[in-house]
Chain A
Amino acid sequence: MEEQEVVVIASSSSIEAGIGCWDLHSGAEHLRYRSCASPSHGLVSVAGRFLASSQLRDSSSSSSAGSLLFWSWNKPQVEVKSFPAEAINPLVSNSDGTYIVGGGVSGDIYLWEVATGRLLKKWHGHYRAVTCLVFSTDQSLLISGAEDGSVRVWSLLMIFDEERQQRSGHLYEYSFSEHALPVTDIVTGYGGSNAIILSASEDRTCKVWSLARGTLLKNVVFPSAIDAVALDPGEHVFYAGGRDGKIYIAELNSLGKSDNNYGLHTIGTSSDQSKGICSLAFAPDGVQLVAGSEDGLVRIWDTKTHNIIRVLKHAKGPVNNILVIQQPPALYPRTLTNNQGLMTRKQVSLPPPLEKFTSIDENADLSIYITPQPDYHRPCDAIYTTVDSMNKQINELQQHGSSEMEMERSKGDNKRSIQMLHQWKKMYENLHQFCVGELLNGEGDNLTL
């Protein structure tokens, strides 16, 4: 299998550090994107096309509203700045990169269309600031957590269907309020309608919810507030990063085999200088766990051996966002062949800034954009047609019974005509003979007369 290039992207709440970007395997640092002070869960790679991040409120500036920044992969400077109506904490985009959803400090949730920057929907999601947002694996549900401890599941179809909303009375599909303190992180598992939701909170618990039934499945208590969770791809265990600097392993399916030692284990009982774990993310291989910590370091763990593989130095401030994604092509135009390089350069242009207020009215034309497919010509695409058409024609010739029939009929006609002709000829001859005979007889008669 071809090894995919994977990059680790980290941002912190301190503006000097910017956004760091490393190769997961080599640890080599790529570009560092400047001037980013992100809140927790405020950094997102929009379908691998560009980076977006919400910004912590700048206390020095007069405006209370925060901002949203876009970076394209190949430039360190901020390229697009948006100023939403209020400061946005968590930011998330769907896997296609068509929408960006942000959670405001007031508890409102905003949904923008990336292509146009339009604010398509805004709704009151929580009583206090939204802290995290995730999409379900099939992208049809949005799950949000807030400072008031509630976790809510939204059906995006419902959000857009006003008729249905009025009938149902509330917008959300489920609202879980079992967390006593602010929710700090949410992840979802695989499995479509039967997936689980895992939420972490400052109340020292992680809770597992059933998406299918909308109920709490499991409650796990930890010795410390948990700021980050990551779900093992096999969904046997999950990893919880505590404020005490430890990464706890907890079993998800402890039902059958409660006698093994999972649940007691921690990895990352890392040395004393390590401060709280702020963010966790799994590498695509499902083995390497990337942890961002309060001390500004990014540690990569091997979950099989429980060893640290690599430490990346990011900043002084806490690393509160970690993304592990496939290396976007635009990050390295020079490694590509000429042809592809041209293509990516074309695509680099970023979408317009996100709108502050919704401008959608009844007449707004909500178009769909079909993204162009590169007109890449494959040799097997060449379709030759002559042979088919020739065979068709030959078939027609062969099967054309009618022509044969026609010939037979003509032959018959011909024969009949010839016969007729003969008859006429004969008759004519007879007549002729008769006439001649008559005439001769007449003459003879006359002569005799």
Chain B
Amino acid sequence: MLGMYALTEESDSCRSRARGLTTMAAFDYAQNLYDVVLKPRLLRSLINEHIPEEKQQLGNSLALAHVVYAIRTHELLSERVVQSGDNKKLIEKWKSAVDLWFDRVLMLVSSNMPDKCWAGICLLGVTCEGCSSERFLASYSVWFQKLLSHLQAPAGSNFVKRACCFSISDLLTRLSGFPNMKRDGSSHAAKLLQPVLKLIQEDNSDAEGAVALLCTILTLFPLSIQKNYDSAEAAIVTKLMSGKCHTNMVKKLALCLSLLPKSRGDADSWSLMIQKVLIAINVLLNDSFQGLEEETKTMRALVPPGKDPPTPLGGLPIFDISNKSTKLGRVSMASISSLMLCCSTMLTTSYPAQAKVPAQLLLMLVERVLMVDGSLTQTLYPTITAMQQEHVCLELPVQHSYSLDILCSIVKEAHSQLLPHAALIIRIVREYLRKCELPELRVKLYGLVKLMLLSMGVGLSLYLAEDVVNNTSIDLDSVGDLGGKPRSDSESTQKKRKHEMAFMSLESQAQTNYLPKNPIPIAVKIAALEALETLLTVGGASGSDSWRSSVDSLIITVATYACKGGWTKPTNNDFNHSQNSSSSWADFQLASLRALLASLLSPGRIRPPYLAHGLELYRKGMQETGTKLAEFCAHALMALEVALQKEPESPESEDDDLYDKWVKDNDGNQPSVVEQENNETAPQLAEKPVSIAVSSGAEVIPKNKGKEPMTEIQSVKEVSKQSEIQSQTVNFHVSDNMVTSDPVTKGKTPVSGSVGGMEFKFDLGDKDDDSMDEIPDIVDVEPDSDEE
């Protein structure tokens, strides 16, 4: 055995010696994948395998992506090693590997072949991101010069230039991370401006990279652009107005324009820019909305009489309002939309100084655009041709959409400062809710409503509730979808729920013009549900008497309907997702269950009537593990558990209403039991001195206008005499006497009548529970009836 062992060992060592000195590292294993020793080796073999030498051809470009992935994942260029005596050799090894990398990459960058050059530029960009700080600082200016020369080359190919832009952008990004290199960065960035602006203006080049680079410069080294401010503005605006950019490019350009004032950094530059943009938009609108709108006062507001208008945006003569003779050529409607996008981008882009937003002017613009729906003005002769109208109508939805974006940004940025403008915004939104029919815009509009509710709180919900409820019910309750028919609701709330959900009264329907065509897209329904959810969250308790019960029933109906056919698995085929992109049935289910939770939790006057049914839905939904829906259902059940443990709140208010009824019906003399039984809501109070408050209050206190509530007496000192209590309750407003009572006796203080009251109220409570149990049955029946 021993001999054998020795023998094998010997043969092993022989073999390894035999393999020879050429492959010394073959058995020099790394500990694991995290071992630093591995990194220089990996780098070297990657270089040898995939990065071509001078005479070699560039291999498959996919291999390049693989190299970049490996370099980023393993941080092969970082040279991050703990400095110590043991790994000096390792450091040396890594250093030489990285040196090799630099040699090869720079060689590629200088290559004459465009594809190799392109590869080199890309790899240099990756190097800027991942190499060590020392190396970066030592050689970035050399790299910069190399890249710049490619950018300026008159005959370079497009894709090389584009890659160049991105690599320079990364170089600047890395450079901006060194706080003491700000000045160097600015001076380097300044050198870029001319070629970049030229690239943007050139017609044939695709300016994507150049615009991205300009964004980076404006963000990181805004000061570098100071000298070229006007030419930059001109280049951006000209490109925007050319109407040849796709949406992404327009967005980038809008961002550039809104970042431009940063280079000056003062409050005035920002204001001037947005004023110029507003003037430009309105000048264009004056032309294109001719014959489609009444005369507007916007221009006068933009440039108040007596003040000089600012220089036209981008120096373009078409925006010069002082020069009356300039005739507008046919400007594409798309460029108006682009400028509107600039407005909302400016609002949402952060600015170093306090930016003064001309809210009124922006709102005027929004109103102006949203109120144009393509119909001709009431004049004798139409002033435009049908073709012009066509032209405008084609682009109007985009402009409406951007107007809503502007509104959204104003609401988001202004916070409480919105107050003076809120009335106007609300007016615009209400008006537009009536008009807007396009699904995409309605979704956006509901989003805006949601935003407004969240930002302006209860005050707004009092205002907007009616409109939100009316519109969402139309959208959610489309005939044919849910099988309900719009029907007057008036006092039929006790009837079948099926009819309740179509609660829109005929009058209010006549009021609203909005009559959608069926079927309403699921995305609109989801947005409507979200708006309702927010309304319930923010203002479910306040002034909701008129709409609360119908909304509750609408939501349970929609939720039941949504979940009727079981749970849909989220579709996994992301590949052909582009067409029916945003919303699926699963989203609809989730939205309906979210709204349902708000409806169950939002404090109302009565116990949530559909609690049992809601719980059942959530329990079922929770079993769909692995879906968002299940997650939410678990959350809902937890929230409802808390709600269940607590006694429903604000039962007192019930009594107020009861009392109001008494006063009306009985002159407040005899509390009528019958009345209370009719009222199906169930007060859950333990103590009910209502009757006392009623009789005594009505008789003794003249000031009382039928609002006298239950009076509770709490005292601090010992009880003196129980008999005093009543009179003192009554006279509490005089309150010279110290009213005293013991809390234990407090429950008994009201005379026996109220004890009776207590009893029958508990009865009612039971009844209510009974009716609760019935609810699921009713609802379960409904889907069947739908199918008929």
Contacts and interface: CB of A to CB of B under 8 A. Distances in A.
A368 to B, nearest CB: 4
A377 interface: yes
Contacts of B357: 367-370
A391 to B, nearest CB: 6
A318 B673 CA distance: 53
B588 to A, nearest CB: 27
Interface stretch (A207-215, A409-417, A436-444): A207-215
B766 to A, nearest CB: 18
Interface string B418-431: 11111100110000
Nearest to B168: A386
B351 A372 contact: yes
Interface stretch (A30-38, A48-56, A61-69, A160-168): A160-168
Interface stretch (B12-20, B159-167, B186-194): B159-167
Interface string B169-189: 110011011000000000000
Nearest to B744: A259
Interface string B344-384: 00010011111111111100000000000000000000000
Nearest to A366: B420
B631 to A, nearest CB: 25
A26 interface: no
Interface stretch (A216-224, A302-310, A324-332): A216-224
B234 interface: no
A219 B458 contact: no
A416 B615 CA distance: 75
A1 interface: no
Contact of A368 (B159, B173, B359, B733): B359
B416 A96 contact: yes
Nearest to A360: B420
B467 interface: no
A216 B113 CA distance: 85
Interface string A70-91: 0000000000000000000000
Given A157-B423, A203-B733, A368-B359, A382 B459 contact: no
Interface stretch (B64-72, B102-110, B328-336, B549-557): B64-72
A192 interface: yes
A152 to B, nearest CB: 14
B500 interface: no
B541 A157 contact: no
A177 B457 CA distance: 26
B78 interface: no
Interface stretch (B45-53, B285-293, B407-415, B620-628): B407-415
A385 to B, nearest CB: 5
A386 B170 contact: yes
Interface in A245-272: 246, 248, 250-251, 254-256, 258-264, 266
A251 B746 CA distance: 13
A405 to B, nearest CB: 18
A106 to B, nearest CB: 24
Nearest to B177: A382
A141 interface: yes
A368 B125 contact: no
A389 B733 contact: no
Interface string B760-781: 0000000000000000000000
B564 to A, nearest CB: 32
B174 A210 contact: no
A138 B125 contact: no
A140 B457 contact: yes
A215 B711 CA distance: 13
A189 to B, nearest CB: 12
A191 B357 CA distance: 33
A285 interface: no
A372 B125 contact: no
Contacts of B746: 254, 258
A197 to B, nearest CB: 12
B350 A264 contact: no
Interface residues of B, number: 107
Contacts of B359: 366-368
A113 B416 CA distance: 11
Contacts of B649: 194
Contacts of A368: 356-357, 359, 410, 413-414, 417-418, 421
A177 B703 CA distance: 9
B739 interface: yes
Contact of A372 (B176, B350, B539, B685): B350
Nearest to B704: A178
Contact of B347 (A218, A256, A370): A370
Contact of B459 (A155, A163, A393): A155
B426 to A, nearest CB: 7
A176 to B, nearest CB: 8
A447 interface: no
A419 to B, nearest CB: 31
A383 interface: yes
Nearest to B651: A255
Given A220-B714, A385-B212, A377 B176 contact: yes
Nearest to B208: A389
Contacts of A261: 743
Contacts of B712: 218-220, 254
Contacts of B732: 203, 205, 219, 221
B125 A223 contact: no
Given A258-B743, A386-B167, A203 B354 contact: no
B418 A386 contact: no
Contact of B458 (A138, A250, A259, A260): A138
Among A156, A379, A398, chain B packs the most CB atoms within 10 A around the CB of A156
Given A217-B650, A390-B122, 10 more contacts: A98-B419, A141-B457, A192-B541, A194-B603, A203-B735, A220-B714, A368-B359, A386-B128, A386-B166, A393-B122
Interface of B: 61-62, 64-65, 68, 72, 118, 122, 125-126, 128-129, 159, 162-163, 166-167, 169-170, 173-174, 176-177, 209, 212, 216, 301, 304, 347, 350-361, 410, 413-423, 426-427, 456-463, 537-544, 603, 605, 647, 649-653, 656, 685-687, 703, 707-717, 728, 732-735, 738-739, 742-744, 746-747
17 contacts: A99-B419, A141-B457, A192-B458, A193-B458, A194-B540, A204-B735, A210-B652, A217-B652, A221-B735, A254-B714, A363-B304, A366-B359, A369-B354, A369-B356, A370-B354, A386-B170, A390-B68
In the A-B complex, the 4 residue pairs with the closest CB atoms? A386-B125, A140-B459, A138-B457, A140-B457
